[in-house]
Amino acid sequence: MLYLHEVNEAVAAVKTRVSGSAPDVAVVLGSGLGDFANRLEGVTSIAYGDLPHWPASKVVGHEGRLVVGTLKGRRVAALSGRAHFYEGHDLRTVTFAVRVMGRLGVKVLILTNAAGGINPSLTPGTLMVMDDHINLLGSNPLVGPNEDRFGVRFPDMSEVYSKRLRGIADAVAAEQGLRIGHGVYVAVHGPSYETPAEIRYLRTIGADAVGMSTVPEAIVARHMGVEVLGLSCITNAAAGVLPHPLNHDEVMEVARRVRDVFASLLEGIIGRL
């Protein structure tokens, strides 16, 4: 299968470039949250463009670099930036990096994102643990022939986001005196922000936060048996919640404001794994 071959070529390229043991934890860093990678020690940093078949990340706030190093005694891969469905990639391309992480032997995947708050209690700057998701992208990354070496044809999704990892996140937040929220994340296609009517619909079906990523990666990780934690940085109120227009600069500004707190939470979680 060509796709498996391409994934394995990227795995081999990472192993060639990175000395020491392979990472067993990976963190995908969303818009404006890439500074976490600077906390790793003894790092190897590789531009996505230097890895075979790895999709480029061209969105502002996504550096496009794989950083592998050590943190709290764990071998960690930090993916500073991701490819998005709205950039024109298919979902197999969007999830390519997660496939590579799974084949490298990663056991825990932490997915982070910037999201719009639908639930009024999730004000800008709040960090939200993802308890579940709703996929409104219009497709699924598992569509097409199944590669049994990745996972089964019909993977269970009754606990996409690990209860164990969510408990760890709560415990670390309590230790750090950090108030975090919990909720359901809905993934939409984008790249336009949602209309107020769409946000009313998303609230009605049970969504607390909305974004344009993460869900395909979570599905693919669970397909491969990787344990997943999802963390959203609420960077803006969704359309219609407040009476002003939305823009990406606001998203980036709020992400920058909370990046140190967010990085400390991630570091604490990894230290408890």
Active site residues: 31, 62, 84, 86-87, 114, 212-213, 236, 248
Considering Cα of 102, then 28, then 42, then 272, what sign does the dihedral take? negative
Q: Between vectors from CA 188 to CA 185 and to CA 193, what angle results, nearest 5°? A: 105
Classify burial at 182, counting beta carbons within 10 Å of its beta carbon; exposed 0-12, middle 13-18, buried 19 or more. Answer: middle
Q: What whole-number distance in Å separates Cα of residue 93 and Cα of residue 84?
A: 9
Q: Angle 96-104/215-223 helices, nearest 10 degrees?
A: 30
Q: Say if residues 269 and 229 touch (Cβ distance below 8 Å).
A: yes
Q: What whole-number distance in Å separates Cα of residue 10 and Cα of residue 13?
A: 5
Separation in Å, CA 213 to CA 38, 76, 85: 23, 21, 8
Helix (H, G, I), strand (E, B) or coil at 25: strand
